[in-house]
């Protein structure tokens, strides 16, 4: 049986100031994932405040009173689930293969060139401006939604046909995903905003280096700035694209964590029916 997670109501919560989104997502006491660590490696990170919180306390900060009531009702209804759904069983390795295929597809999309093909007379500096990367980033996030959401539902269905306990887990995962969806939507713009900061940081360092070179050579800094060299190995835009792609891959892995957890539960001996 799935154990109920105590969700605090408004009266039980401690009043805490709401930090800015780009700070909250990088706090080490809130989460410690590759995405958070990557973004925090070059973005300011607020110092942790207060004592460490357990899972239920953290969840209470994400769940409002209405959502808490719905979640509690779901937990109560799970007690009535005592048999799996009818349908073919799926092996864990099959689900893991599905997850690997989705990740590979997204990794291939992330590896594609975000800039338009160079054309004669094109403004290379304008093509490489931040809005180009922002648009590509949002396109890739939408693609993550289109591929990962159906995959997660597929894994839930597989669990529901395996045992009563896994059917309970799948139902709980469905409700948790719905409950936390609004919070997730609010956090989606956070990585792009931090990546924009990284883009500007590297661009400004590049311009400062150009000014120093121009002063030494008695030349015009603008004349030394060649956009065709921005993406050579070690150049500022090349470094940014490495950070940008690493952040996207880390976001893919973060979104896949619940799906991987469900697939792993399929192989847990205490979650599957015993065979004589």
Short-list 139, 138, 168, 170, CA closest to 152: 170
Is residue 67 included in any domain, yes or no?
yes
Q: Could you tell me if residue 95 is inside a domain?
A: yes
Q: Is residue 1 part of a domain?
A: no
pLDDT in tens, 97-118: 999 999 999 999 999 999 988 7
Predicted confidence at residue 240, as pLDDT, reads: 97
3: in domain? no
Closest CA to 106 of 151, 76, 40: 151
Q: How far apart are the C-alpha atoms of 43 and 56, rounded to whole Å?
A: 28
Where in the sequence is the domain holding 27, given as residue range(s)? 10-112+124-266
Q: Is 160 among the domain residues?
A: yes
pLDDT of residue 272: 60
pLDDT of residue 51: 53
State residue 54's pLDDT score: 72
pLDDT exceeds cutoff 60 at 6: no
Residue 271 counted as domain residue: no
On whether the CB atoms of residues 248 and 140 are closer than 8 A, the answer is yes
Structure tokens belonging to residue 199? 């883009």
Domain annotation covers residue 276? no
Count of domains in the chain? 1
Report how far apart, in Å, the C-alpha atoms of 108 and of each of 102, 112, 113, 195 are: 10, 7, 10, 20
Is there a domain that residue 69 lies in?
Answer: yes
In 3D, which of 227, 200, 225, 201 has the Cα closest to residue 212? 225
């Amino acid at each position: 049986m799935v154990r109920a997670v105590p969700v605090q109501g408004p009266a039980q919560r401690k009043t805490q100031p709401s930090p800015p989104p780009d700070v909250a997502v990088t706090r080490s006491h809130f989460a410690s994932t590759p995405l958070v660590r990557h973004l925090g490696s070059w973005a300011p990170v607020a110092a942790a405040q207060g004592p460490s919180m357990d899972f239920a306390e953290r969840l209470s900060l994400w769940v409002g009173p209405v959502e808490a009531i719905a979640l509690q009702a779901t937990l109560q209804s799970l007690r009535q689930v005592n048999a799996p759904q009818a349908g073919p069983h799926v092996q864990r390795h099959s689900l893991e293969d599905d997850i690997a295929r989705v990740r590979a597809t997204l990794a291939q999309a992330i590896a594609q060139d975000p800039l338009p093909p160079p054309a004669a007379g094109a403004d290379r500096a304008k093509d490489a401006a931040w809005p180009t990367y922002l648009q590509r980033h949002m396109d890739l996030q939408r693609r993550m939604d289109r591929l990962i959401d159906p995959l997660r539902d597929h894994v839930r269905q597989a669990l529901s046909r395996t045992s009563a306990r896994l059917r309970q887990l799948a139902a709980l995962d469905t409700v948790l995903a719905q409950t936390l969806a609004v919070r997730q939507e609010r956090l989606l713009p956070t990585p792009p905003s931090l990546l924009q900061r990284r883009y500007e940081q590297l661009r400004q360092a590049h311009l400062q280096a150009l000014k120093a070179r121009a002063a030494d050579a008695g030349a015009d800094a603008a004349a030394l700035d060649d956009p065709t060299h921005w993406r050579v190995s070690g150049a500022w835009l090349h470094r940014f694209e490495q950070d940008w792609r690493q952040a996207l891959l880390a976001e893919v892995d973060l979104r896949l964590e619940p799906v991987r957890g469900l697939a792993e539960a399929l192989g847990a001996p205490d979650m599957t029916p015993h065979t004589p």
